[in-house]
Amino acid sequence: MLTPLTGILWRLLARMRLCLAGVDDAEVGRLLVRRLRWMVVFGGLAAGCVVLAATTATETVAAPSPVMAAMRTDLQMGAYIAAGVLALPVVAVWRYAQAIVRRALRDRAAVPQVCRGTALRVVPAAEGGWPMLLRREDGRRFWVTGSAKVLAPVRSRMGRAGPGFRVTVTVQYYRRSRVVKEIRGMAVEALSVAWSPALEAGAEPATP
């Protein structure tokens, strides 16, 4: 249940251009500007709903009939509810960007880690980082982000591999922000060979 929901959230962040492509000043500044733009958009819509609700409340007092007054009361309540719903993305975007920027700044002084796993999905973005879903050798899945320059070759290789093959990558990434610094290695493996029960049991492959 959590895996599909997490994938949807990462796709949404990619479309909103809120994924980090690096931990440098330029990329952190880009993310903060993008955060401000989305906060202004959602905050402006929420403020508009509040103004609409206040205006409707004033008109309700002077309504010519009880039916009209009831309709305007319903509109007022709907406007307040819409304002509350639109305020949620403002808080969510602010908290997310604050957390990811803080992690990126701390990662600058850290040594990137190396991880090997299977690339399951790469989500392209018009700007900023591209999310990539990896399955590590221990079976756990986790998302990382990286620049288009770093992850575009992985996505291209996944598209050319076709059914029956998997793309195995070795990535160097920052642990806190999960930003990929570089791809250290990449290989296409046949699933029939990589997951052969005979090879897992230690048996020698049959020879003609």
Confidence of residue 195 (pLDDT cuts 50, 70, 90): very low
Pair (49, 103) in one structural domain? yes
Strands (E), 58-140: 113-122, 130-136
pLDDT digits (tens, 9 = 90+) for 62-82: 555 666 667 777 788 888 899
- What Å distances lie between residue 97 and 32, 143, 166, 177, CA to CA? 7, 16, 33, 11
Distance from C-alpha of 13 to C-alpha of 57, rounded to nearest angstrom: 37
Angle of the 66-107 helix axis to the 25-61 helix axis, nearest 10: 170
| Contact indicator for 94, 35 with CB cutoff of 8 Å | yes
Q: What is the CATH number of the domain that holds 138?
A: 2.40.50.140
Number of domains in the chain: 2
Give the mean model confidence (pLDDT) for residues 31-41.
96
**Is residue 187 in a domain?**
yes
**Is residue 199 in a domain?**
no
Domain that holds residue 135: 113-194
Burial label, 141 (beta-carbon count in 10 A; 0-12, 13-18, 19+): middle
Give the mean model confidence (pLDDT) for residues 82-108.
95
Pair (103, 33) in one structural domain? yes
Give the mean model confidence (pLDDT) for residues 7-29.
95
Give the range among 65-74, 110-119, 137-146 with minimum mean pLDDT: 65-74
What mean pLDDT value characterizes the chain?
86
Pair (37, 89) in one structural domain? yes
pLDDT surpasses 90 at 86: yes
Q: What is the pLDDT of residue 112?
A: 94
